[in-house]
C-alpha cells in the first residue's frame, strides 16, 4: 500500500504542476500496481487529492515554515495526501501517518521520513485551529479556485453552496443499457447475479444507477457491449433529437462516442460521427465496435464543414460542444486545477463559431440540439440567446424534458447533483421550414 501512496504522490504532483490529466496520470502509474486494491487506493487518492488540493496544499503552507512544494514536489504531494487520508478519506490516523512515512522509502527519500511524520502529527494536534483558518477563506474552505467561485456566485447566487457541496461529493455510477444487445431489466438481473446491486433510473429509459462504484470493465456484459458508462444527464440527447428511421443525423463533436452510440442504439438513422481530435476518434471507433454500432466516422473541424461535408443537409444535428466542463467537477476533480478564468471567453467563441458554421447545414424543418457539460451561463443560456438574435429562422423549443433541471433562458440547465446527475445544459433549436 505504501507503493500506492508513493505513486499517488508522484502522479498528483504531475497533475498539479505538470498539467497532466488525472486519467493520464492514473494510466501511467496504475500498471505498476499488481493488486486491484492498490489500484483502487491509487484512484481514490488521486480523485480526493485533486478534489481537495486547494485546501490541504494551503494547510501544508501553515504547517511548515518552508514547504517542500518546489524543492521536493512529490514529498509535498505525499504530505498533502496524508492530510486528505485523515480528513477526507476517513482512514485511521495511524494508518495514514505510517503509510505516508513508509512511502518516503519507495520515493527514495528515506531521510524525509521523520519530517513527514512530524508534519502529519502536527496537523493532528492543530487541526481545529488551522482548519478554522482554512474555513475562513471560501477558496480553501471548499477547495475551488477563486475565478470559479466568483463566476458561480454571479451566475447562481442562490445555488452556489449546493453546487460546491455537490462538486465535493462522490458521483454515483450510472450505466446506459444497450437496447440493441439487451434490455435494461435483463441487464439489471445479470448484474445482480454477478453481485452488483443496480436499479433502473426513475425516468430515463436506458439508465441504470449502481449502488457502489466499481471497475465496470469487470462487470458481466461489459465485453459483450451490453452497456456503457454514461451519466444520466448525458442520456437525453436521443429523445431531444426526436429521431425517426432514415433521418440524416450529424453528431458534430462526437468523441469518445457516447452520444453517437446511444443515438444508434435508439434509432435506425444515417449517422455521421465527427470530431477534430484523431486520438479521440480512435477511441471512439473502439467504443463503436464494442457496442456493435456503425456510424460514418469523420475527422474534421465542425466549424469548417466544407472539408468534410458533401454539402447535403442534415435532419438533425447534435452539437455536444467543447466547454469548460464545469458541470462535471465531481467526476473530474482535476478540472478545477487546470481550468483558468481566461479559458471561458475562447471556449464561448469556439462554441459560437461551431454553431454558426453548422446552422446552415440543418434542413428547413429540422432540428439542432445544443449541449454542454458546463454550468456557466456564458456557454449556455447567454450563448443561445445570442445565437437566436443572429438567426431569426431558429425557433427554440419551449417545453421539453420537464424532469430535467430547470428552465434557463431558452434551454434547460441541470446543476451538479440535481436529480443525482451531472451539471449539463440543453437547448433544442428548430429551423423554420
Ligand atoms: C464534450 S466532448 C464530446 C463528448 C461526446 N459527444 C460523447 O458523448 O462522448 C467535445 C468534443 O468536441 C471535440 N471538438 C472540439 N472542437 C471541435 C471542433 N471544432 N470540431 C469538431 N470537434 C471538436 C473535442 O475533441 C471533444 O471530443
Q: 86-134: per-residue pLDDT in tens?
A: 999 999 999 999 999 999 999 999 999 999 999 999 999 999 999 999 9
Confidence of residue 41 (pLDDT cuts 50, 70, 90): very high
pLDDT of residue 182: 96
Q: What are the φ/ψ torsions at residue 168 (nearest 5 degrees)? A: -95, 5
Per-residue burial over 14-23, b if 16 or more Cβ lie within 10 Å, else e, is bbbeeebebe
The mean of the pLDDT values for the chain is 96
Q: Closest residue (by CA) to atom 15 of ligand 1?
A: 322
Residue 296, Cβ density class (10 Å: 0-12 exposed, 13-18 middle, ≥19 buried)? exposed
Which residues, at least 6 apart from 347, have a Cβ–Cβ distance to it below 8 Å?
Answer: 322, 323, 324, 379
- For residue 273, what pLDDT is reported? 98
Cα atoms found within 13 Å of the Cα of residue 331, Cβ hemisphere only: 22
Residue whose CA is at the smallest distance from ligand 1 atom 7? 258
pLDDT exceeds cutoff 90 at 218:
no
Delimit the domains of the chain by residue range.
Answer: 2-143, 173-229, 233-431
Does position 30 have pLDDT exceeding 70, yes or no?
yes
pLDDT of the residue at 2:
64
pLDDT-derived band at 386 (thresholds 50, 70, 90) equals: very high
**Binding annotation for S-adenosyl-L-methionine:** 253-259, 275, 301, 320
What 3-state class would DSSP assign to 267?
coil
Catalytic residues: 373
Taking the C-alpha atoms of residue 61 and residue 83, their distance in angstroms, rounded to an integer, is 12
Q: Residue 230: name the closest of 258, 255, 264, 260 by CA.
A: 258
Q: What is the pLDDT of residue 23?
A: 95
Check residue 187 and give its pLDDT.
96
Is there an atom of ligand 1 within 6 Å of 305 CB? no
What's the rounded Cα separation, in Å, for the pair 429 and 2?
54
How open is the CA angle 284-15-10, to the nearest 5 degrees?
Answer: 115
Whole-number CA gyration radius for the chain: 23
* Nearest residue (CA) to ligand 1, atom 9: 258
The atom number, within ligand 1, closest to the CA of 303 reads 19
Whether the CB of 262 sits within 6 Å of ligand 1 = no
Probe ligand 1: pick from 322, 335, 352, 422, max atoms within 8 Å of CB? 322
pLDDT number for residue 266 = 97
Tell me the C-alpha to C-alpha distance, in Å, between residue 306 and each of 26, 273, 361: 39, 16, 11
Q: Are strands 207-210 and 173-177 parallel, antiparallel or unpaired?
A: antiparallel
Task: Answer whether 301 contacts ligand 1 (Cβ < 6 A).
Answer: yes
Of all protein residues, the one whose alpha carbon is nearest to atom 12 of ligand 1 is 253
* Alpha carbon 314 to chain centroid, angstroms: 29
Pairing relation of β-strands 270-275 and 296-299?
A: parallel
Contact assessment for residue 235 and residue 266, using Cβ atoms and an 8 Å cutoff? no
Task: Compute, in angstroms, the gap from residue 95 CA to the centroid of ligand 1.
Answer: 43
Q: Which residues, other chains included, contact 128 with Cβ-Cβ below 8 Å and sequence gap of 6+? A: none
Are 43 and 215 in contact by the 8 Å Cβ rule? The answer is no
Per-residue pLDDT at 212 exceeds 90 = no
| Minimum-distance ligand 1 atom for the alpha carbon of 372 | 1
How confident is the model over 238-264, as a mean pLDDT? 98
Q: From ligand 1's centre to the CA of 280, what distance in Å?
A: 9
- CA–CA distance, 233 with 259 (Å, rounded to integer): 11
- Which ranges of 107-180 does DSSP label H, i.e. alpha helix? 113-135, 138-142, 146-155, 160-167
The grid cell for 262 is: 446511444
Q: Please name the fold of domain 2-143.
A: N-utilizing Substance Protein B Homolog; Chain A (1.10.940)
Q: Which residue has the higher pLDDT, 416 or 212?
A: 416
How far does the centroid of ligand 1 lie from the alpha carbon of residue 87, in Å? 37
User: pLDDT-derived band of residue 69, with 50, 70 and 90 as boundaries?
Assistant: confident
User: Which residue, 191, 12, 25, is CA-closest to 103?
Assistant: 12
Q: What angle do CA 149, 155, 161 make, to 5 degrees?
A: 50
Q: How far apart are CA 203 and CA 420, in angstroms?
A: 12
In angstroms, the CA 75 to CA 55 distance is 17
For range 387-401, the mean pLDDT: 96
Fold classification of 233-431 is: Rossmann fold (3.40.50)
Q: Is the model's pLDDT at 1 over the cut of 80?
A: no
Q: Which residues pair with 250 in a beta bridge?
A: 272, 317
pLDDT digits 0-9 by tens, 309-363 = 988 999 999 999 999 999 999 999 999 999 999 999 999 999 999 999 999 999 9
Tell how far the Cα of 309 is from the centroid of ligand 1, in angstroms: 17
97 phi, psi to nearest 5 deg: -70, -50
Q: Is the pLDDT of residue 16 over 70?
A: yes
Nearest-CA neighbor of 225 among 127, 294, 122? Answer: 294
Q: Which of 254, 258, 346, 347 has most ligand 1 atoms within 8 Å of its beta carbon, as the pocket-test mutant?
A: 254
Domain 173-229, CATH 3.30.565.10 — does that match? no
pLDDT (0 to 100) of residue 70: 86
Residue pair 341/151 in contact by the 8 Å Cβ criterion: yes
Amino acid at each position: 500500500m505504501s507503493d500506492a501512496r508513493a505513486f499517488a504522490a508522484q502522479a498528483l504532483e504531475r497533475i498539479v504542476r505538470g498539467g497532466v490529466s488525472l486519467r493520464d496520470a492514473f494510466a501511467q502509474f496504475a500498471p505498476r500496481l499488481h493488486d486491484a486494491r492498490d489500484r483502487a487506493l491509487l484512484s481514490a487518492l488521486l480523485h480526493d487529492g485533486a478534489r481537495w488540493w486547494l485546501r490541504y496544499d494551503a494547510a501544508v503552507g501553515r504547517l511548515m515554515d518552508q514547504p517542500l512544494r518546489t524543492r521536493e514536489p512529490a514529498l509535498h504531494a505525499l504530505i498533502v495526501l496524508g492530510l486528505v487520508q485523515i480528513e477526507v478519506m476517513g482512514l485511521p490516523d495511524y494508518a495514514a501517518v505510517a503509510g505516508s512515512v513508509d512511502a518516503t522509502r519507495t520515493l527514495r527519500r528515506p531521510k524525509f521520513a521523520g519530517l513527514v511524520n512530524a508534519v502529519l502529527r502536527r496537523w493532528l494536534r492543530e487541526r481545529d485551529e488551522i482548519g478554522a483558518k482554512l474555513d475562513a477563506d471560501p477558496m480553501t474552505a471548499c477547495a475551488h479556485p477563486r475565478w470559479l467561485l466568483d463566476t458561480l456566485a454571479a451566475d447562481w447566487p442562490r445555488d452556489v453552496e449546493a453546487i460546491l457541496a455537490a462538486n465535493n461529493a462522490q458521483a454515483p455510477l450510472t450505466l446506459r443499457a444497450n437496447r440493441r444487445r439487451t434490455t435494461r431489466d435483463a441487464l439489471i438481473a445479470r448484474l445482480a447475479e454477478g453481485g452488483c446491486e443496480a436499479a433502473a433510473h426513475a425516468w430515463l429509459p436506458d439508465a441504470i444507477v449502481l449502488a457502489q462504484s466499481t471497475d465496470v470493465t469487470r462487470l458481466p456484459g461489459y465485453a459483450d457491449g451490453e452497456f456503457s458508462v454514461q451519466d444520466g444527464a448525458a442520456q437525453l440527447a436521443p429523445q431531444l433529437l426526436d429521431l425517426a428511421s432514415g433521418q440524416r443525423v450529424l453528431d458534430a463533436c462526437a468523441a469518445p462516442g457516447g452520444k453517437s452510440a446511444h443515438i444508434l442504439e435508439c434509432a435506425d438513422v444515417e449517422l455521421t460521427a465527427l470530431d477534430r481530435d484523431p486520438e479521440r476518434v480512435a477511441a471512439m471507433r473502439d467504443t463503436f465496435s464494442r457496442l456493435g454500432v456503425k456510424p460514418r466516422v469523420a475527422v474534421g473541424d465542425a466549424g469548417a464543414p466544407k472539408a468534410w461535408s458533401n454539402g447535403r443537409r442534415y435532419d438533425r444535428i447534435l452539437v455536444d460542444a467543447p466547454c469548460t466542463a464545469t458541470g462535471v467537477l465531481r467526476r473530474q476533480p482535476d478540472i478545477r486545477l487546470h481550468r483558468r478564468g481566461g479559458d471561458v471567453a475562447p471556449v464561448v467563441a469556439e462554441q459560437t463559431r461551431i454553431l454558426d458554421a453548422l446552422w446552415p447545414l440543418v434542413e428547413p424543418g429540422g432540428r439542432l440540439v445544443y449541449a454542454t457539460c458546463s454550468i456557466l451561463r456564458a456557454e449556455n443560456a447567454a450563448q443561445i440567446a445570442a445565437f437566436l438574435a443572429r438567426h431569426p429562422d431558429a425557433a427554440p423549443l419551449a417545453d421539453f424534458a420537464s424532469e430535467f433541471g430547470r428552465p434557463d433562458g431558452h434551454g434547460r440547465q441541470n446543476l451538479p447533483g440535481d436529480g443525482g446527475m451531472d451539471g449539463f445544459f440543453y437547448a433544442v433549436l428548430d429551423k423554420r421550414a
